[in-house]
Structures are given as structure tokens and as C-alpha cells.
A and B are shown apart, each in its own frame.
Chain A
Amino acid sequence: MKMTVQRDNPETREFWARVERDELSVGHCNGCGEVHYYPRAICPFCFSDDTALKAVSGRGEVLSYSIISRGEPYVLALVTLEEGVSMLTNIVTDDPGAVFCGMKVAVTFQDGADGAKAPMFVPSAN
């Protein structure tokens, strides 16, 4: 799949700037206290505009995954962060067959399909 994504979105520019510095963030709402992903200017839960990016640990576990073997194999996954939100991502591994639901993973920052750096995950010991 060849697609380019324009990352000149004023709403998410700071998220991607942090990714360039190897930092993962989620949206946090000061109105209701909930975190959300992907990050938005207006909280999708309470509609407060008192939102900000919140740096997260980058640790989580695999909610689910699929191995796509057509061409160079890759692992599409949903990872649930310790902070409670799930994000679409890739698991970066030489052994896709070892991925499982509930597997502990940690964030890594690598070039995505559009050629820009994106948060992905690798298997982790803890």
C-alpha cells in the first residue's frame, strides 16, 4: 500500500513533532480526566476544549494482531497502552509467529508506510 499522509494538520502537529523526538503521547482532557487516542483538540468524551497531549510510558500489550504475508510480511496490531487506550500500530519483529494476544510490548519509533516516523512496538520482557 503506497500512500502519503500529509502531516501538516494544525491539530496534530505537536503529536508528530514529539514522535520525531521519540516521544509517544495520547490526548488528555482536563475537563473529565480521561485519556483518548488519537489525540484531539476537543475531548471526544465530554467535549471540553481543555485538552493537552500527555506523554505516556510506551508500554502496553497486544489486544489483537494480524500477520500479512503478501510481499514483505508485517504485523498489524492494536496495542492497549498502560494508560488504557488502544492504538493501531505495527509490531516490529523478526518472528511474527511469536506474537500473541496479551503479549507485552514497548514503543519504538520507525518509518511507517508513508515514509515518516511513527510509533510502533517491539516485544518486551516486562
Chain B
Amino acid sequence: MNIRGKAYIAGAFEHPTRNAVDISLGQIHADVARGALADAGIDKKDVDGYFCAGDSPGLGPLSMAEYLGLNPRHIDTTDTGGSAYLLAVGHAARAIADGKCNVALITLGGRPKASGRLSVGVPASNAPEVEFEVPYKPMLAAMYAMVARRHMHEFGTTSEQLAWVKVAASHHAQHNPHAVLRDVVTVDDVVSSPMVADPLHRLDCCVVSDGGGALVLVNPEIAKSLSRPKIAVRGAGEALGHANGGKVRLTSSAAVHSGAAAFEEAGVRPSDIDYASIYDSFTISVVLALEDLGFCEKGKGGAFVADGNLISGVGKLPFNTDGGGLCNNHPGNRGGMTKIIEAVRQLRGEAHPAVQVADCSLALAHGTGGTLGSRHGCGTVVLERE
């Protein structure tokens, strides 16, 4: 079933906190749920679909549904790490198109800073791969670094080209009062920052921050009754990638499939996109995603992002105009939600004036969750202002 014209994002809210010392995890979910419903102008009692992922405390949706006082008739807790919220938008749109629910709420919350649990990617002890990985100290940044290294080897990509992703994000973040990092940085700043996992430097890595976000999706009748701009979910795709029994591919991701599915359903091409939110866990994540989504040829991502091509008002493809995960926010080590929220801001014309894309009518949001070059899940959505 094609979802075009059958579901709309009516509400979006990003929690302003970046350090939730005085806020509980449940409270973050409640704060963002309330914020997104208020943004949409919808009462909580009308929520009949609830979507959450692995950041949600308790068993699946049970604890949060009880805590929030929700009684949904449709639930979905698909978890692919930080990209889960991209998948949730697609799932919610399909559930609405299918009549399974009329008002879908998606929430994310996390407080890795306040809780002191900064590390990500600690594997479940009963996962079958664990005994073949843990002996080698596979820190997350090093897994992404191996993708970057191989990309450099195959295509001649340079650290300076990767650095441009961070430079662009910092140009946008300077206008975001909530951003963790607001200083504009240069390519030299990035490549001279301390090495975390060669060839990735500290400034190639996203921030660690607390916070969260929520979205409300509704059916066309409800969307028409609301006063907010109508943001249609025009297409959505999802896919996963893994080591494939040892036949490892490092320089392409599941975005090849999630992107193609989303573009096909939307009936548009990459060249039609006015603004793109790309999950930027690391600078290499963006380069690989842009290639796999078709914004440039495979191997040309480094050249594509260089020289400010991702800076709003400067380059051809304005991206992550909130500052992204590299500068603004990476709530709960999961960057997918904030990607969708900034895309909604752009389509509504509510991004910061300094970074607002003129006449932004078609946007893409994309996430890579889990571990690039290893087990990962990608979600892509194409959104349109009607």
C-alpha cells in the first residue's frame, strides 16, 4: 500500500535539555509527548497509536503506556538503535493508512550524561556474535573508523573531506541556542583534534547529550482540522545490513535499499530534495549515506560534502540545519528523532531564519542505527509540505 497522502506529521517537539540532571527518563518521554501534542493541538485522549524503541524504560511499550496514561489500540516497538524513529514514522504512517490508528505518538528520551552511562553499543551478553567480538575491544567509534579507513583506501577520501561534514554542522549550530557545541569550526580544527579511533578525530564524532523528542502523526481528516502546516509522509523505506556470514561490505550500507524504497514510494529523486536530515553519528556516516541514497556516485561522497556543499545558503544540499548530532543534540545516543524534527521545522518554515531553506517543500530524513560496517538498520522518509 502506498502511504502518499494518507498520513501527516502534525506535531513535533525536541526537548530543550541537554543535561537532564533533574529530570527522570520517564519524565523526558512525558515532556516530549506533551510538547508534540501541544504543537499539533491534539488532546492526549485522542492518541490511539503508540510507538517507542529501545530507549523506552520497561518492557516494550508497557511501562511508558502506563506512565503516560495511554491506552493505544496499535503499538510498535521496532528497534534499530538510533534510526528506530525513522522506521517508526513509516510504520505509523502505514498503520494510519491501514486504519489501525488515527493519532500516532512516537517518543524518545535518554539521559546518558546525567546517569553517567556514556558508552553505547554494549552488546547483549546472549547475542550470538558477542563471543567473537568482545575479545577484540570493538569500541563503537573504531567500527565506524574502519568504514572510513576502507572508504579512504578504495576511493581516496580524505580526513579533510570528512571534516567538512562537521564544519557544515557547526555553521548551522551557531544559530541554535540549545546546541551543545555552538562554535564554528574549521577543517583544520577537526583534523587537529585528538584522534579517537584512527582515522576519526574527536570532532568527527557526535556529542553525548541527554534529551529527547516526539512526533504526532495523524490521518488526513484530522490533519485538515488542525491549524499547523500539513507535512505529508510521502514515502518511507527501511532495511538492515550485517556481516552476511563473513562476506563483509564496508563501503555501502542498508541505505541503498531504504533510500530506494522511500524514493520509489514518494515518486521523487534525490535531485528533487530541498533539504536533508542525515543521521551524523560520525562524519563518515553522512558521507556513506549520501552516496547510498543517491545524492552522489559511490566513492564521490568526500568530494560532495567538501567546500561547504552541506551548508545552508552556501551549498547545494543544506543538511542538519539544527547542528545535527555532531553539534546540537544526540539524545540518548539516538539521533534519528531529531533528524525528523528538523526536517519538519524546515518544511514548516520554522527553522532558524539564518538556516531556513527558501521555499522548502520536499525534505528527506535518514538514519543509520546500530553499527555502520556491521549490524545496522537504516530508515529513510521523504516528507512534503502540502
- A contact set with B: CB distance below 8 Å: 1, 3, 5-7, 9, 11-12, 16, 26-27, 34-38, 40, 44-45, 63-70, 74, 76-78, 80, 84-90, 100-102, 112-114, 116, 118, 120
- B contact set with A: CB distance below 8 Å: 122, 125, 128-139, 141-143, 145-147, 149-150, 153, 195-200, 243-248, 250, 373
Shortest Cβ-Cβ A-B pairs, 3 listed: A112-B135, A85-B246, A37-B246
Chain B residues lying within 8 Å of A100, measured Cβ to Cβ, are 153
24 A-B residue contacts at CB 8 Å? A5-B134, A6-B125, A12-B131, A27-B245, A36-B245, A37-B132, A38-B246, A40-B128, A44-B244, A64-B146, A64-B153, A65-B146, A66-B142, A66-B197, A66-B198, A66-B200, A69-B195, A76-B138, A76-B197, A84-B246, A86-B247, A113-B136, A113-B137, A120-B136
Chain B residues lying within 8 Å of A88, measured Cβ to Cβ, are 132-133, 136, 138
A81: min CB distance to chain B, Å? 8
Chain B residues lying within 8 Å of A77, measured Cβ to Cβ, are 146
A78 in contact with B137 (CB, 8 Å): no
B127: min CB distance to chain A, Å? 11
B76: min CB distance to chain A, Å? 27
Chain B residues lying within 8 Å of A37, measured Cβ to Cβ, are 132, 245-246
| Bound CA span A6–B127, Å | 11
A65 in contact with B131 (CB, 8 Å): no
- Residue from the list B136, B195, B197, B245 in contact with A89, Cβ < 8 A: B136
A90 in contact with B136 (CB, 8 Å): yes
Chain A residues lying within 8 Å of B197, measured Cβ to Cβ, are 66-68, 76
A113 in contact with B134 (CB, 8 Å): yes
B245 in contact with A85 (CB, 8 Å): yes
